[in-house]
Chain A
Amino acid sequence: MNSAANPDTLRRLGQLWDVVVILVQRDMKLRYKRSALGLAWSMLNPLLQFGVFYLVFRFILPVGRENYGLFLFIGLLAWGWFQTSLQIGCSAIVDHASLVRQPGFAPATLPLATVLSSLLHFLIALPIVFAATAIAGKLSAALILWLPIVVLVQFLLTLSIVYAVAALHVSFRDVQYLLSIFLLLGFYLSPVLYSANDVPARFRWLYDINPLVPLLESYHGMVGAGQMPSLAPLLLVGVGSCVALAITHRSFLKASRWFVEEIGA
């Protein structure tokens, strides 16, 4: 680390960044290459999901929350970013075996590229959020100022988990399957469709240990009510994610020495 100013190290980091950039570009190009709908296509899935949940929780089992549409939409987007990153990131190493076998290729770029390209999809949908918030008269300085920080914390948290699952999946091929169960349960146990404040006290502990809760609550507060996020829990998750990322990234690097052996020829 003390060699950060060394030109060779800088060149190497610059090249690694280029690898991440072209992996993300490749992903985006592939996603839009064949579809005439292009960008609209990436919005279709969250919009449909939104439509169904809106139908259910506005009209069939009404939750009676003001601006529920906005509340729901930002929650689904944020969860979508988290879920897609984990699902795709989990198999990133196994799916790119031929790259991992190339001399000099850094496997650590693959999970990072996955999280970034899911982040781009999240960002592409944000203008809709801003427009809808403005129409509802809730657009606030809190949203514009704090959104990047909340996004950054979610990025660190997601990446730290993706490094762990991606490395585990190389050795244990049922990780992806277990992860999808975990994500399905996690979706309902995280405050995406509802607010953590609605949770009865005796179940609150479940939400106190879930690092996604402060993030989702921040999104909900900023978008639905124009509130500033509560800083203490956000800071805690942010610091925790940094520590977790340092640990999982390091473990990933250690494990990556064995990837080719594990994947096989």
Chain B
Amino acid sequence: MIAVEVVNLGKQYRRYDSERPWTLHEFLTMGFLRHRVVEQTWGLRRVSFEIEEGHALGVVGRNGAGKSTLLRLLSKVLIPDEGTVNVRGRLGGLLELTAGFHPDLTGRENAIIGGVLRGLTRSSVRQNLDSIVAFAELEDTIDRPLRTYSSGMQMRLAFSVAIHSRPDVLLVDEVLAVGDLAFQRKCLDRIRELRSGGCSIVLVSHDPVLVENMCDSALWLSKGEVVEVGPAPNVIQKYTAAVNALPASRSGESVSVTTQGVVLHTGKNRFGALDIEISDVRICTSSDASGVNLAPGDSLTVALKYAVHRNISVALFSVTVIHDDGRVCFATKTEQPVSKASPDANAGCITVRWHDIHLEPGVYFVEVGVYDKNWTYAYDYHARSYPLVVRANPLSRYHTLGIGREFTAGHEWLLDAGEAAHGQR
């Protein structure tokens, strides 16, 4: 059965000869005269596809290709200028996940609000509340105000609410770039589960590998028009080839190798659009310059080299140490956006150093990320690429002395020379 049918869809954007918004005053005194349409551009045109029940369509394309316009047309919050959209059953969206949430309300209150705003009744949200909380792994904090949550916890709650609204057709925007890797996997598993229950998925992503893994078919958009639509492997192969052939040779390059020889594979251990790319990560510890072995009391230095590929002037960085089981041990982020040293600088370096680290013996990973100025979107994220090994040491008794499983005396951010003032201790 066809769940989504899109026929010859088109959406125009109009530019007026005067800046909007209008005022009623102007309108009443001058009528329509003041605002003439000077330019009409097609944000999307001649798009047709069908999605079978329980199938998934991935939508790829560069920024401005019309992906968001397509999602809004499918959501029916935009009216097409041409063509039709037919959706069978109830639409759900993993779009603007935290819409309706308020920082002063508790996690529980926000979950109820979020669920009802996404189309559930109050009684069904209450019935599902335990399962929503359990999926988000927030049992201990659900009655605390949302403002005490980390951004990752908020996303987990929001995702969990959205996924419990039991849609027949689920629209997914690039939301999975946020949150830790373990939770991302859980989300993807849940989306697969919904799919096998008959829910159809439209997944918009910058990440061709994710689309290839998750979707049956794919739609490649460029400048509002369909370049290719068909089985996911075929479309993605062509898309990746085309993107790699770009003269700038950047975004979508699916495999790259850092100077340390670490292989970064987009969609496997690397996520994001690479508008800003973390090109090199150097890790060293007091006891091991190659940065793999960590002894108790070591300092840990993580230096990120980044390259800016688009005209972006500020960004945020995060560095996280996670245990192999996905538990976050240390996490830090730049509290203020980091500005470029000079307007035309397109590369830089940022370093974070932890002092006097103690971790239980085991395998850990350093994860690094660079985000847009609101933390909503990762430009680049390297997951589970840089291992740290803490060997059992009979002389080390810190973790039995009540210091806890993990301890550090503190950390500091160090920036490129000339912009040290933006850092955070």
- Could you tell me which A residues sit within 8 Å of B by CB distance? 11, 14-15, 18-19, 21-22, 26, 29-30, 33-34, 98-105, 168, 171-175, 178, 257-262, 265
- Could you tell me which B residues sit within 8 Å of A by CB distance? 21-25, 27, 68, 72, 74-79, 90-93, 95-96, 98-100, 102, 104-105, 109, 112-113, 116-122, 171
Chain A residues with CB below 8 A from B75, complex form = 101-104
Asked if B96 and A98 make an inter-chain contact with CB atoms under 8 angstroms apart, the answer reads yes
Chain A residues with CB below 8 A from B105, complex form = 26, 29-30, 33
Q: A98-B96, A102-B99, A171-B22 are in contact. Are A22 and B117 (CB under 8 A)?
A: yes
Chain A residues with CB below 8 A from B22, complex form = 171-173
Asked if A101 and B95 make an inter-chain contact with CB atoms under 8 angstroms apart, the answer reads yes
Q: A99-B99, A103-B93, A172-B21 are in contact. Are A261 and B68 (CB under 8 A)?
A: no
Specify the chain B residue showing the minimal Cβ separation from A103: B75
Between-chain CB contacts (< 8 Å), 21 pairs: A15-B116, A15-B120, A19-B116, A30-B102, A30-B105, A98-B100, A99-B117, A100-B77, A101-B72, A101-B95, A101-B96, A102-B77, A102-B96, A102-B118, A103-B74, A104-B75, A104-B119, A172-B22, A172-B27, A178-B24, A260-B78
> B27, B104, B122: which contacts A34 (Cβ < 8 A)?
B104
Q: A22-B112, A172-B24, A173-B21 are in contact. Are A103 and B99 (CB under 8 A)?
A: no
Asked if A171 and B21 make an inter-chain contact with CB atoms under 8 angstroms apart, the answer reads yes
Specify the chain A residue showing the minimal Cβ separation from B170: A103
Chain B residues with CB below 8 A from A172, complex form = 21-24, 27
> A117 to nearest B CB, angstroms?
14
> A260 to nearest B CB, angstroms?
4
Q: How many cross-chain pairs have Cβ atoms below 8 Å apart between A and B? A: 97
Specify the chain A residue showing the minimal Cβ separation from B71: A103
Name A's interface SS.
helix
Chain B residues with CB below 8 A from A34, complex form = 104
The 6 residue pairs across chains A and B that have the minimum distance between CB atoms: A103-B75, A172-B24, A98-B99, A174-B23, A260-B77, A103-B91
> B70 to nearest A CB, angstroms?
13
Chain A residues with CB below 8 A from B122, complex form = 18, 21-22
Asked if A261 and B78 make an inter-chain contact with CB atoms under 8 angstroms apart, the answer reads yes
Chain B residues with CB below 8 A from A100, complex form = 77
Specify the chain A residue showing the minimal Cβ separation from B109: A29
Asked if A15 and B119 make an inter-chain contact with CB atoms under 8 angstroms apart, the answer reads yes
Asked if B117 and A105 make an inter-chain contact with CB atoms under 8 angstroms apart, the answer reads yes
Asked if A104 and B24 make an inter-chain contact with CB atoms under 8 angstroms apart, the answer reads no
Asked if A15 and B121 make an inter-chain contact with CB atoms under 8 angstroms apart, the answer reads yes
Chain B residues with CB below 8 A from A15, complex form = 116, 119-121
Instruction: Report the separation of the CA atoms of residues A34 and B21 in the bound assembly, to the nearest whole angstrom.
Output: 35
Asked if B95 and A265 make an inter-chain contact with CB atoms under 8 angstroms apart, the answer reads no
> A99, A103, A261: which contacts B100 (Cβ < 8 A)?
A99
Asked if A102 and B78 make an inter-chain contact with CB atoms under 8 angstroms apart, the answer reads no
Instruction: Report the separation of the CA atoms of residues A21 and B95 in the bound assembly, to the nearest whole angstrom.
Output: 23
Q: A98-B100, A172-B22, A174-B24 are in contact. Are A103 and B116 (CB under 8 A)?
A: no
> A100 to nearest B CB, angstroms?
7
> A265 to nearest B CB, angstroms?
7
Given contacts A18-B121, A104-B92, 14 further A-B contacts (CB under 8 A): A15-B121, A26-B109, A29-B109, A33-B104, A98-B99, A99-B99, A101-B75, A101-B96, A103-B91, A104-B90, A104-B119, A174-B24, A257-B79, A259-B77
